[in-house]
Amino acid sequence: MTETKLTSDSLHNKNCFSYLKHLQLTDSIFTRLSPGLANNLKIIQAQSVYHQDFAYADVYTDFFTEVEDNIETIYDKPRHDSVQDPSKVADLDNFIFSIYHNDNAILEETFKAIKSIPLNHTLTDTEIQKSISIVLTDHGKKINKRALSPAEAGSMFGRFTAMIADDFKPQHTTSLATVRNYNYTNEASQYYPQEYRFGTQAQRDQGIERVSPLFERWLQVKHERAVDKSAILHIYFNNLGLDRTDAEGKKEKALSKALHKLEDKHPNIAVITLPADKGLMSGSHYRKTKDRISATKIYDEFIKIAQQDSEAVSKVNDFYISNKVRQLIFTDEWNRYSLAEEKKQLEKLLVNSFKALGFDKTPFLSSSQRQAVWFHFIKFELTNHIIQRLNPESVNFSCKDAIDRGGVSSAYYNLLTSFKTNTPMSREEFECALHAAPAMVKARGMNHHLKTLWNVIDAYVNEHYNDLREDSNQSWLIEWRDYNCPHKRVEDLLTLRVKQGIQELLAAKSNHKNNPHFNEAAINTGLSILEQIKLQKENGVSGKRLLLEAAIRTTSITLNPDKASLKTYEALADRLVIHSPTLQKLAGIMKMLAGVILYPLSLGHSKTWINSGMATYKAGVDSSQRKEIQHCMKEKLLSLKDHEPPDESIESDSQTFH
């Protein structure tokens, strides 16, 4: 059978198959389900492979609707009646547990379908969010008749409907639960809590906010299985709004309040709301690099917000940790809590945040730098402190769908945590952490929160540049920062990367005795290119994203050449010529560099690249000379015009040179 072309509907269908296959279903569960649902689930459980024409997503939605509406008869009563039969209790508990602990690998499988987009993304490409949505566009006949596809859920109509609907239950549609797996968490020497990926467990049911009944049962199962019944077993990091007053913000606030009530009913959970959008986390702050704000005022404001002080100037903070949890995470060495101890520990975490980004000795910060410090503080320093103190079995980072706000929270925390281990996160793991969930749930890549994340990573890379560059397992983060630079920040990054490139090539030139592969001609040519890029930037030439890519690739291939990169580099040179004839000289030198580097590897066959580069360079020089002659002639003619009688016109003659 011919496999159907990938769509968001077909991808979602396959993910639902994987999810349903990993449910722990027994005959005692089947007997309590409707015959139609039970029969479909039995068929799926018996299947060894995915069948592309089977409507798994319809079954998935039917499953959640039926089980949630009938949880008392499917789980509560049978469990109560079976309390003397441990095997039956285990079957029922395993079923509930598998609804969330569903190790279905759907993030990894989703990423396989889209990974070429983020892994090969360059500065002039269409944004990743849109590129993925194009790949996952729905077309043709849908497999599922009732279930929403991710593309439908992510459409403007789908998002608006979800916001205003009396019934809001994202886990019933495309926000499938799964576990996040990272290589660094497999280190035997260190314990890490299991991270779950699921959308918000707050719901609107007929217009009334509540927590998913299934999630509450899951918490009960965890509590029943725990050795220490008083321990915090799960941390729910909530990234929904709590202080906003706009229409959508009010709805999020109601959902957040429902989540926080969980602590009253379930002693084994900590629900912590941390900022993710609006206010200090505004999506536009990454652009604001020129304003200046007192670092002391920033520090004081952050401490007030973290202590939930009403005197904080910012009113949209979305920051809440209950007194119960504060008394667990801010204790001294004798396990005693006080407000003074809390402030002391928060100040230490905040100082660490300023230092981590290199701002600890900076008297004034821009809005973008302020946001970077706040981001690092809430999403790494404080989050890590909370996890270390509570030592839970599991955690989750969720906003509505745990794909954007929750996605960057999870990705940044895991990135920096892994960088402190012997198994740092790879580029592929990181891109999967960012884009697999949005593709799975909404048929797109991560939205504008990617720019907020970029802003803090830019600061982190700048502070740790040399260490990252020298570590082969972490240096990819520099490349990620470079190739994901938002358009509004390209000019500043271009200046920095040209400067760094020149420094690195000069250092390589001075240390050539230690390098058996030293190529002086290549380094000199690379330096000429970087100087030319610097000149073009100073002259205000357009195409700064192309220039930034040229600067990055020039340094890279000069110091670490390979044939694949050289071909990409030559193609970039051609794009420069197409973009602007002004850049012909630069493109010519780039082609010559590629030829010089490839010459010893190709037994002289790269001579055509060198000749092509010389021709392109000459064309650029000729073009520049023509423009210079034209400019001089026009200036001379205009000068003559100033001394001619008014009735004689020389301006028309000057036009013949254009």
pLDDT tens digits for 460-510?
999 999 999 999 999 999 999 999 999 999 999 999 999 999 999 999 998
- Where b means 16+ CB within 10 Å and e means fewer, 534-555 reads bebbeeebebbbbbbbbbbbbb
Q: What is the pLDDT of residues 369-419, one digit of tens each?
A: 999 999 999 999 999 999 999 999 999 999 999 999 999 999 999 999 999
Domain boundaries along the sequence of the chain: 485-635
DSSP class per residue in 114-149? HTHHHHT--TTSPPHHHHHHHHT---SS-S-SSSPP
Q: Which pLDDT band, with edges at 50, 70 and 90, does 619 fall under?
A: low
pLDDT tens for each residue of 211-257: 999 999 999 999 999 999 999 999 999 999 999 999 999 999 999 99
Q: What is the token pair recorded at 287?
A: 């652009």
- For residue 527, give every residue at least 6 positions away whose Cβ sits within 8 Å of its Cβ, in sequence order, or none: 502, 505, 506
Task: Write the burial class of residue 626 (CB in 10 Å: 0-12 exposed, 13-18 middle, 19+ buried).
Answer: exposed
Quick check: 440 and 57 in contact, CB under 8 A?
A: no
271-320 pLDDT, tens digit per residue, is 999 999 999 999 999 999 999 999 999 999 999 999 999 999 998 999 99
pLDDT at 73: 97
Burial zone of 462 (CB within 10 Å; 0-12 exposed, 13-18 middle, 19+ buried) = middle
Residue 584 has pLDDT above 90, yes or no: no
What is the Cα–Cα distance from 414 to 480, expressed in whole angstroms? 16
Decide: 550 and 586 in contact? Cβ < 8 Å.
yes
Is the Cα torsion angle 4, 5, 6, 10 positive or negative in sign? negative
| Three-state secondary-structure class, residue 26 | coil
Number of H helices and number of E strands within the chain?
32, 9
pLDDT tens for residues 52-88? Answer: 999 999 999 999 999 999 999 999 999 999 988 999 9
Between CA 551 and CA 560, with CA 557 as vertex, the angle to 5 degrees is 130
Q: Over 80: is that where the pLDDT of 606 sits?
A: no
Distance (Å, rounded) from C-alpha 506 to C-alpha 563?
A: 23
Distance CA 140, CA 7 (A): 9
Residue 16: is its pLDDT beyond 80?
Answer: yes
Q: What share of the chain is helix, strand, coil (3-state, %, to 5)?
A: 60, 5, 30
Place of tokens 């004798």: 334
Q: How far apart are CA 217 and CA 405, in angstroms?
A: 26
Q: Rounded to an integer, what distance in angstroms lies between the CA atom of residue 590 and that of residue 572? A: 9
Summarize pLDDT for 642-651 with one digit per residue, the tens: 444 444 332 3
Closest CA to 357 of 460, 209, 260: 460
The residue assigned the tokens 């002039």 is: 124
Which pLDDT band, with edges at 50, 70 and 90, does 654 fall under?
Answer: very low
Highest mean predicted confidence (pLDDT) among 228-232, 350-354, 605-609: 350-354
Read off the pLDDT of each residue in 8-22 and give the average, rounded to a whole number. 98
More confidently predicted of 135 and 541: 135
- Average pLDDT on 545-564 reads 92
pLDDT at 516 over 90: no
Is the pLDDT score of 631 beyond 70? no
583: tokens are 């850049």
Structure tokens at 401: 């769908």
Q: Give residue 420's identity as a one-letter amino acid code.
A: K
Q: Which of 318, 227, 218, 327 is nearest to 266 (CA)?
A: 218
pTM (predicted TM-score): 0.91
Residues near 501 by beta carbon (within 8 Å), at least 6 away in sequence: 526, 530, 551, 552, 554, 555
